[in-house]
Amino acid sequence: MDIRVSKESEIPLRQQVAEQIIFLIATEKLKTGESLPSVRELARRLKIHHNTISEAYQDLVTRHWAVRRRGSHLVVIRPPDESARVEPARDLDELINLTIELARRQGYSLQALRERVRQRLLAQPPDHILVVEEELGLRQLLQEEIRQAVRWPVAGCSREELAATPTLMIGALAATPQYAVGDTEPLVPKNRPAVPIAFCPADEHVNLVRKLRDPSVIAVVSVSQLFLQAAQGYLAPAVGRRHTLSQYLLPLESPNVLRGADVVFCDSIAMRKVKHSNRVHYRLAARASLDYLSNAMESYQK
């Protein structure tokens, strides 16, 4: 029996439990004659007080969705109104239509249904990662690196887009650069805080430049202007006056612009698009942050 509750919701836990069980019965996910878990078993599973489950079960009995049998177990019974029963839906649209019809029959307005569904969806465990970042290029770059590191789908938006459309957080776990966590937190559910993404130190790349024996032309290629600015700042001390540092924002005007470069640092997207004999992968997201993000997603699935 798949039931999930949110302690952050304004809806009482007792009501969340009762309404979800009723929906499972109405859609025949729970069959007539099937026993419900014991009060203590369901309380332990949902990590809430057993009195809350007891009250929810009493509500089911009062509303004739369940009956008590020997041993105090609750058993699902057929609803008194046969027209309230829902036949299995053939597709998602039909399931939604049946849900709307069932809600109307029980006296719920469409506005109340919409708000409750939104709250319930927001309380569901995430099934994808949402990268929240203002600059489009940096957002695309983080999406690419996260997509390569985890097994879940990855989407992206700006903070402005998330503020205007809070439903973007439905089924999502937000990931955002470490410096932007404070601005992102107010836009995500309190029970699902944003995961900060730290950036890799550039020590490896700085050391590579310092080891160059001859004056060299060094290029940095990225989809992100912010990435280029950061790389320039990191590499500048090693470049000094001995080498020449050039920056290129994708898409390149011409593949020939890199012909004179001795070393080309490429971000994770540029690595797929740039052809050069001496490319160096310049990763943005720290491996520890990507591992933490993956573990966070795993924890929500349990």
Q: What is the pLDDT tens value at each position of the chain, 302 positions in all?
A: 789 888 887 788 998 898 888 888 877 788 888 899 999 999 999 999 999 999 999 988 888 888 887 666 888 886 555 444 545 666 778 777 778 877 777 777 888 888 887 777 777 789 999 999 999 999 999 999 999 999 999 999 999 999 999 999 999 999 999 999 999 999 998 888 999 999 998 899 999 999 999 999 999 999 999 999 999 998 999 999 999 999 999 999 987 899 999 999 999 999 999 999 999 999 999 999 999 999 999 998 77
Task: Return the pLDDT at 84.
Answer: 47
Please count the CA atoms within 13 angstroms of the CA of 109 that sit on its side-chain side: 3
Any residues with CB less than 8 A from the CB of 122 and at least 6 apart, and which? 6, 169, 170, 189
Cα 5 from chain centroid (whole Å): 18
Task: Return the pLDDT at 87.
Answer: 56
Task: Return the pLDDT at 7.
Answer: 84
Backbone angles phi, psi at 142, to 5 degrees: -65, -40
The whole-model pTM stands at 0.66
Task: Return the pLDDT at 79.
Answer: 59
